[in-house]
Structure 1
């Protein structure tokens, strides 16, 4: 099973040459990037899970409704929000969609699982930092779903052969043929492959001059759109199964 997920969050990088890019502009970039992702998913009739960063969720009401109406899952990405803020946004979004929000993803700030359970989440999908040295830091880890504190804990996927993780940077940098082989070989060994990408990777960095590291600026924008399109076309061609996170777990 392929679990395709997207993190919706504003790009935090400063602009080059001291140019100011407002929070409103950053939010619009996130919205436009997400619409590009949705178009590609529609073309290939593929459903995914979208992890919306807590601090911008209330500002993206129309986008969240559009994502949900197309059959995709809405979950949350916690960057540095408090439990109270998460609880408030969770209730607001559930009322907006008239659906239960089951999943949450964390990276740098990880709240206690027992507290997340009290907020009636059903699963946690934590991720790690994906810098240029990340693939070489850990060569082995658990890739099975575990139950802890009443929650399903979904680990990041890692290739048992190349030992590369399926994070946003690896997708961005690897040639598609190599990435496809990695997915194919991993599914021979593991029950699922969890792929995650960030909405900011679909930004046109020629139009918006953000100051990001060189290695992170490669193959972004339209090239990311083309790469996602190629991946989904290959998945359908090989008749590989895909699923939203909540459906696979429950």
Structure 2
């Protein structure tokens, strides 16, 4: 099973003609990139899970409605929000969508399992920082879903042979043929492959000055769109099943 997920995040390091973009302009870019992803998914009839940054969730009502109307799942991404902010965002989004938000993803800042359980989440998808040095780390670890106080803890997926994780940077940087081989080999070994991309990767670098490490500027924008198109076409051609996180876990 392929669990394809997207993190809806603003990239604060974007400028144009020497002017740093405002929060409103950054949000417009994030929404535009997400709509582009939705069109690509619809073209290939693939359902996915979108983890939206809690700090922009209440400003993205129409986008979240669109995501759900297309059959995708909405979950939360916690960058640096407090427990109270998470609770408020969850109540607001659930009232707008008229359905519960089951999942939350965390990286740098983590809220305890017990506190997240009290907010009635049912799964946690924790991810790690990725930089240019991560291929040199020893990444062998369990990729099994664990249960903790009634919550499912979903780890990052790792290729059992290359030892590369299925994070945003690997998808962007690795040639598609090699990436497809990774997925094929991983599915022979594991029951699922969890893939995640970031919406800011679909920002066209030619239109903006994007402040990020040089190795992260490779294959941005339209090239990422094309790469996602190729990957989804390949999954369909090979009849590889895909699912939303909540459907697979629950």
Deviations 1:152-180 (A, max 9, x none): 00000000010000000000000000000
CA distance in 1, matches of 2:12, 2:128: 17
Compute the displacement of 1:18 (Å): 4.5
- Normalised by the length of structure 2, the TM-score is 0.98
Helix, strand or coil at the partner of 2:20: coil
> In the alignment, is the contact (CA less than 8 A) between 2:16 and 2:208 conserved in 1?
no
> In the alignment, is the contact (CA less than 8 A) between 2:16 and 2:207 conserved in 1?
no
Superposed, 1:83-98 pairs within 5 Å as 83-98=83-98
Q: Which residue of 2 aligns with 1:170?
A: 170
Compute the displacement of 1:103 (Å): 0.1
Compute the displacement of 1:14 (Å): 5.0
Helix, strand or coil at the partner of 1:178: helix
Deviations 1:169-219 (A, max 9, x none): 000000000000000010000000000000000001110112211100000
CA distance in 1, matches of 2:148, 2:81: 22
Superposed, 1:105-184 pairs within 5 Å as 105-184=105-184
> In the alignment, is the contact (CA less than 8 A) between 2:94 and 2:100 conserved in 1?
yes
Helix, strand or coil at the partner of 1:219: coil
Compute the displacement of 1:12 (Å): 2.2
190-199 or 6-15: bigger deviation: 6-15
Q: Which residue of 1 aligns with 2:26?
A: 26
> In the alignment, is the contact (CA less than 8 A) between 1:16 and 1:211 conserved in 2?
no
Helix, strand or coil at the partner of 1:142: coil
Superposed, 1:221-240 pairs within 5 Å as 221-240=221-240
CA distance in 1, matches of 2:129, 2:68: 28
> In the alignment, is the contact (CA less than 8 A) between 1:104 and 1:125 conserved in 2?
yes
Deviations 1:58-94 (A, max 9, x none): 1110000000010000000000000111001101100
CA distance in 2, matches of 1:41, 1:17: 33
Q: Which residue of 2 aligns with 1:209?
A: 209
Helix, strand or coil at the partner of 1:125: strand
> In the alignment, is the contact (CA less than 8 A) between 1:6 and 1:50 conserved in 2?
yes
Helix, strand or coil at the partner of 1:104: strand
> In the alignment, is the contact (CA less than 8 A) between 1:103 and 1:121 conserved in 2?
yes
> In the alignment, is the contact (CA less than 8 A) between 2:14 and 2:208 conserved in 1?
no
CA distance in 2, matches of 1:17, 1:214: 19
Compute the displacement of 1:138 (Å): 2.9
Residues paired across the two proteins, number = 250
Deviations 1:107-141 (A, max 9, x none): 00011110000000000000011111122223201
